[in-house]
Amino acid sequence: MTSARNRELLALVPVAALLTAGFAAVFSQENEQLGNLSLIYGAYFLAICLAAHVYLRIRLPNADPYLFPLMATLTAFGLVMIYRIDETLARDQANWFVLGLILFALTIQFLRDYEVLERYRYTIAIAGLLLLLAPRVPGIGQQVNGAYLGVKIGPIAFQPAEFTKLAIIVFLASYLREHREVLIVGARRVLGVTLPPLKHFGPLLVVWGASMFMLVFIRDLGSSLMFFAAFLALLYVATGRFSFVVIGMAMFLLGAWFFASTVPHVHERVEIWLHPYNEPENAGYQILQSIFAQADGGLFGKGFGQALITVPGTDDALLPAAQTDTIYSLIVNEVGLFGAVGVVLVYTMIAARGFKIALLASDGFSKLLATGLTAVFAIQAFVIIGGVTRVIPLTGVTLPLVSYGGSSIVANFVLLALLLLISDRARREAAEPAGRMAAMGAPA
Amino acid sequence: MNRQIVQLFAFVLALFAVLIGFTSYWSVFDAEALKEQDANKRPLLEQQQIPRGRILAADGTLIAKSVAKGKGSSKRYVRRYPEGPLFGHPIGYSFVRYGDSEFEQFHNEELVGEGSEFSSIADELLGHAQEGNDIVTNIDTEAQRLAQSELEEAGYGAVVALDPETGAVEVMASNAPYDPNRVPYEYSKLANEGIETPLLNRATQGRYPPGSTFKVVTAAAGLDSGAITPETPIDAPGSLEVEGTPLENDFGKDFFGATLDTALTNSVNTWFGQLGQQLGNDTLFEYMDRFGFNAKPAIDLPEEEVLPSGVYDIENDELLHANDPVDLARVAIGQERLLATPLQMAQVAAAVANGGKLMKPQIWKRVIDPDGRTVDTMDPSVYSDAVSEETAAELTTAMEGVVNEGTGTNAAISGVAVAGKTGTAETPGNLACGGGAEENQAWFIGFAPADDPQTAIAVSIECTPEFGGDVAAPIFRDVAEAILNGE
């Protein structure tokens, strides 16, 4: 399957060209003269991507050829946007990109037989949940905008929710693979509603409890929403019971409603979402400015480097958290509706490739793991883009691979590594003429 | 599980479609409305990065300019008004925090150089930074200065001078004044709702009972509709019972068999009251419309900063119409609930001066692009044919009598024929004046030279114990002289 890798190689060239052009556009805006710095940055980026590509060629020759270039596209786009906001932030981000690729390679190196994850699923789940609690531990925890999202140990700071995301998906995929049959068979109809068997549902209730707990204790509405949606998606794929999804959604909404009326932080987020114009200079400032920035962009945007992020002559933010939460609004502002549609299309293509891997995979764990990883990635994009476009309340999750943030970059490249591991095996098996899963009829 | 995976993908597609939908809504469909939001400072901040064009008086005096502050990406332009309070009205101000007003607001597009969408995209591709156009106004600096300083001595009020032939606004002064440079520092103080209200342009938003100056409109309606000729005698007793209340002449003087000249020269209330009643609601309102009443003057100022004149239902702040019950005899002499802005009364004088043709008042004269080319010039345009030339000539003769031998002798300029009309509306207990018992709204409207009018002027002073002929007519004279000397 070297043709797959050749396609990947071909796809990486336009990605590097995009990055070069993006930097050139930003430079031309900031300096009168256009140096060859953008070419140098483009060359660096291409070289790093090529290294990853060569590694894939050796290790996972059959893996999906488009996922890596698509994710590199988002990273490149994010780098340009962040550079445009602040040079030093872009340098951090570039370093994290390299670190992300190192962890990407290590994951592929040591998790070739990723079934091993199944064996440690409870360990992984508990480790993930403990990580979530870390931000509340005095001394290392950090509070951001009222939510406990960060951990800082010495010089290393990270956001555990990004890694917990992976742990929870691994646990759910494994748990559901084992129990999906009993969840389906053991279901009972009570008052016309199909209910899952209580005995096997316990661990799943724990997931619900964890989401609620995140709402209250960590106050992270965005991650809570993201986790729970991914959970419901996996539950549905595993059991095919839509009623489970409905029950789960009802439980989440009930819980969210209860906490929205009792926990001030959550309540405030919902109030701002519903009535942003009540306090346009305070609570509603971020979401309003996010929308105003989009209105300013229009169809084609103002061009790279042209949008206002701070009030000129001051350090007052005009678009608060432009490098993280509201980076999508900045994209709309600078490259317009067309550019934003392009970004959403890239996420759509990643989702398409991810679900394709799940379709191709032969065993239940691989299918569920690929589905879960793809779903959580897509849902995270939805939660933050939906937040800044006022579809849902604005919460502080990153726009995967585009937003500034090391944890996010690294975690998402580990996620990519897992997807490619599953893909490599599935495509290899599917390519074998007498492959076990040839009956599935999925094209190679 | 494959079916569910495909369904999940379809669901993700639906979610992303919602995102595209919302993004389209904010960035395109609702974008214009969002840019209008008060909370949205972006449009102003972006304008601040464009060197806004200068505003100049007719003689080239610099009224407003932009000065650069900061460097690089934090470079921005701040508005400066070198003459301070002199042109505060009608030019207004433009500051990021406090928005813009008056002329600055109305002519914003030209001042920031917003041309067609195409040219701005082309400029962007060529790397041209957007630059504003300069605007030359019709304002006569010396006359404006004189009007402002004399107003400040006389009391709160306004002076408006129009070129009758073109509608060019030569003077628009309003007292209390304000210095637009101070707006960023003392906005709340300037915007106060007390007696001073310096941010209020009294020329366009001060609504006052026009008193006897309105008799010009009544006379015009009488002559032009054919109800009277200059020779038609009307018996005007010293006192006349109208709607249960006596309408009285000054000193209760009788004018039996008086014609228009006598009636206007002596400002005979019962004469014009009877004429008004004879004309009827429809005719009088029709001529008011022709002179610009009952509509916002078509001047180049923001609509919300210009008020219409007419008979008001004071409680609801609404204009009354011809079919509403009004005391027509008192409307005819500028009382009842009739309120007029100084700009409106200047339009009355200008229409008579211009042979009955009312021109649209315009402050701007020329737009000059950054390369020094004149890209647009004001075209005088007719608002209405208020009265015939013959009527206008007859009115002029009567108004000359006012200045030569009547209540307006203080408006006389040696060697120049002046036509005009005084007005003194009693506004006892006017709360805006502090509730004094004998407060008047003093007026003078007129034009000069009467045989070849170059300027038509309205002067109005609030809350004064004096009469129009004593306090307003001298200001008219000085401002008119300044304008005539300047030409």
B382 and B294 in a single domain? The answer is: yes
Based on the structure, what is the number of domains in chain B? 2
In three-state form (DSSP H/G/I as H, E/B as E, the rest C), the secondary structure along chain A is CHHHHHHHHHHHHHHHHHHHHHHHHHHHHHCCCCCCHHHHHHHHHHHHHHHHHHHHHHHCCCCCCCHHHHHHHHHHHHHHHHHHHCHHHHHHHHHHHHHHHHHHHHHHHHCCCCCHHHHCHHHHHHHHHHHHHHHHCCCCEEEECCEEEEEEECCEEECHHHHHHHHHHHHHHHHHHHHHHHHHHCCEEECCEEECCHHHHHHHHHHHHHHHHHHHHHCCHHHHHHHHHHHHHHHHHHHCCHHHHHHHHHHHHHHHHHHHHHCHHHHHHHHHHHCHHHCCCCCCHHHHHHHHHHHHHCCCCCCCCCCCCECCCCCCECCCCCCCCCHHHHHHHHHHHHHHHHHHHHHHHHHHHHHHHHHHCCCHHHHHHHHHHHHHHHHHHHHHHHHHCCCCCCCCCCCCCCCCCHHHHHHHHHHHHHHHHHHHHHHHHHHCCCCHHHHHCCCC
Taking CB atoms and an 8 Å limit, are B8 and A233 in contact across chains? yes
Which residues of B fall within a CB distance of 8 Å from A240? 1, 3-4
Average pLDDT score over residue span A44-49? 90
B84 and B163 in a single domain? The answer is: no
Q: Check residue B127 and give its pLDDT.
A: 47
- The least confident of A265-269, A355-359, B214-218 is A265-269
| Chain B closest-CA separation from residue A283 CA (Å) | 13
Residue A332 has pLDDT above 50, yes or no: yes
Place of tokens 């094209």: A443
- The least confident of A25-29, A119-123, B265-269, B464-468 is A25-29
Per the prediction, chain A carries an average pLDDT of 85
Residue B390 included in any domain: yes
CB of B28 within 8 Å of a chain A CB? The answer is yes
Token digits of residue B155: 């009391």
CATH code where residue B86 lies: 3.90.1310.10
Q: Check residue A144 and give its pLDDT.
A: 66
Q: Check residue B260 and give its pLDDT.
A: 95
Q: Check residue B214 and give its pLDDT.
A: 96
CB of A98 within 8 Å of a chain B CB? The answer is no
Q: Are A108 and A144 in contact (CB under 8 A)?
A: no
B347 and B475 in a single domain? The answer is: yes
Give CA–CA dist A360/A283, Å, rounded.
Answer: 47
B84 and B201 in a single domain? The answer is: no
Least CB-CB distance to A332: which of B18, B23, B74?
Answer: B23
Residue B7 included in any domain: no
B120 and B197 in a single domain? The answer is: no
Residue B86 included in any domain: yes
B49 and B162 in a single domain? The answer is: no
Taking CB atoms and an 8 Å limit, are A295 and B40 in contact across chains? yes
CA B236 to chain centre: 35
Q: Check residue B116 and give its pLDDT.
A: 43
Residue B88 included in any domain: yes
Q: Which of residues 315-334 of A touch B (CB under 8 A)?
A: 318, 332
Residue B184 included in any domain: no
Residue B469 included in any domain: yes
Give CA–CA dist B482/B485, Å, rounded.
Answer: 5
Average pLDDT score over residue span A361-365? 91
Residue A444 has pLDDT above 70, yes or no: no
The range of the structural domain enclosing residue B270 comes to 141-179+192-363+378-486
Q: Check residue A439 and give its pLDDT.
A: 46
* pLDDT tens by residue, chain B, 487 residues: 889 999 999 999 999 999 999 999 999 999 989 988 888 888 878 777 788 899 999 999 999 999 988 776 667 888 999 999 999 999 999 987 788 899 999 999 899 887 644 455 555 544 456 778 999 999 999 999 999 999 999 999 999 999 999 999 999 999 989 999 999 888 888 877 677 889 999 999 999 999 999 999 999 999 999 999 999 999 999 988 888 888 889 888 999 999 999 999 999 999 999 999 999 999 999 999 999 999 999 999 999 999 999 999 888 889 999 888 889 999 999 988 899 999 999 999 999 999 999 999 999 999 998 888 999 999 999 999 999 999 999 999 999 999 999 899 999 998 999 999 999 988 766 666 666 666 889 999 999 999 999 999 999 999 888 899 999 999 999 999 999 998 6
CATH code where residue B405 lies: 3.40.710.10
Place of tokens 């637009």: B180
Q: What is this model's ipTM?
A: 0.92
B166 and B216 in a single domain? The answer is: yes
Q: Check residue A192 and give its pLDDT.
A: 65
> Of A157 and B388, which is predicted with more confidence?
B388
**How many other β-carbons are positioned within 10 Å of the β-carbon of residue B127?**
8
B52 and B155 in a single domain? The answer is: no
Residue B166 included in any domain: yes
Spatial neighbors of A3 by CB under 8 A, at least 6 apart, are none
B113 and B147 in a single domain? The answer is: no
**How many other β-carbons are positioned within 10 Å of the β-carbon of residue A199?**
9
Residue B145 included in any domain: yes
B250 and B200 in a single domain? The answer is: yes
pLDDT, tens digit, 9 for 90 and up, residues A393-417: 888 889 999 999 889 999 999 999 9
Last residue of a domain, one of B74, B104, B137: B137
Nearest Cα to Cα of residue B425 among B271, B267, B305:
B267
Q: Which of residues 349-378 of A touch B (CB under 8 A)?
A: 351-352, 355, 358-359, 364, 367-368, 371, 375, 378
B162 and B103 in a single domain? The answer is: no
B306 and B417 in a single domain? The answer is: yes
CB of B67 within 8 Å of a chain A CB? The answer is no
